[in-house]
Amino acid sequence: MFTNCFSDAYAESPTPAAVAESPWSYADLADLATVAPMAIEARLYSTALLKPERAPGLAAGFARFYVEADVVSLIRGSGPLAARISYLVDLPLDAKGKPPKLKKKQPVLLFARPVAGAAAGSSSTGSVQLIAPDAQLPWDAATESRLRAILTELVKPGAPPAITGIANGFHVPGTLPGEGETQLFLDTKTGEPVSITVLTAADGSRRWSAAFGEIVDESAPIPRQNTLGWYRLACGLPRSLPLSKLGGTAPEDRKKAAADYAVVLGALGQCTRTRTPPPGL
């Protein structure tokens, strides 16, 4: 039986420089980590390929397996977990259209929830449901290190919440010609305040900041790439500013706000994903 190591699990994780680069992007892992109530390191014990007629909803180009795996570590979870668990996973066929070969003791990372009727982390949690049909990743040290770093950020007080859109905003000209300020207030899943401020100097240079909380600090550094704050913005903001959210702002100032917003998106860069985000993100 494995007990929760939620508070201590992250303390000993290696620094990013100590391991090779993960094959998964930050967004790939953050997508899974923010949805899954359980993150598990395990080793495959046995696998059985299911016939298509026993795999309802199986997507074309995939094979479904019934898997039993031995738990190595409950990276995230709310209590004890059985030493051996079972689950279903859909994995892509190879280039020849054949199901992948899964080896006994192959290490994997699972993103899961307890099956219906079992309390998360109870001693009877011997079966889990992956949060997406393919939410089993091959384990490697770099991926585990990045995952633990994401989970550490998620549990910190004041962690940036998921962004669902633009609530409202405005642009006002400054005192000197060319100066201006754009403020945008964001909608979040939790209702916690998040805002973006863009200041334009008379020479046309721009400086922007993001505030995760009530206090707006225009001198705050922008979120570094591959951090939770960056992920929330880069992956949660719409690709263009909905001008209808700038009620009471003159048409010319709306254009300036849209230009400021484009600068923010450009500075954040792309939200790179190599896999489909799980349902419920």
- Judge if 225 and 138 occupy the same domain: no
> Which residues, including other chains, have CB under 8 Å from residue 61's CB and lie 6 or more apart?
92, 93
- Looking at residue 127, the DSSP 8-state letter turns out to be B
Contact call for residues 147 and 75 (beta carbons, < 8 A): yes
8 found inside a domain: no
170 and 147 assigned to the same domain: no
Asked whether residue 247 is assigned to any structural domain, the reply reads yes
Which of 130, 155, 180 is the endpoint of a domain? 155
112 and 235 assigned to the same domain: no
The residues, ordered by sequence, that sit 6+ positions from 263 with a Cβ below 8 Å of its Cβ are: 198, 206, 208
Predicted confidence at residue 2, as pLDDT, reads 58
Whether 280 is covered by a domain: the verdict is: no
pTM: 0.87
Nearest CA to 245 among 165, 168, 183, 170?
168
120 and 41 within one domain:
yes
- Domain assignment present for residue 253? The answer is yes
**Can you give the pLDDT of all 281 residues of the chain as single tens digits?**
555 444 333 333 444 444 479 999 999 999 999 999 999 999 999 999 999 999 999 999 999 999 999 999 999 997 678 999 999 999 999 999 999 999 999 999 999 998 865 554 455 578 999 999 999 999 999 999 999 999 999 999 999 999 999 999 999 999 999 999 999 999 999 999 999 999 999 999 999 999 999 888 887 889 999 999 999 999 999 999 999 999 989 999 999 999 999 999 999 999 999 999 999 88
Residues 107 and 21 in one domain: yes
Query: Of 109, 128, 155, which closes a domain?
Result: 155
**Domain end call among 113, 139, 155:** 155
Domain count of the fold of the chain: 2
Side chain identity at residue 268, one-letter code: L
Phi and psi at residue 53, in whole multiples of 5°? Answer: -70, -15
What range does the domain containing 92 cover? 16-155
Residue 120 is which amino acid? A
Residue 11 lies in a domain: no
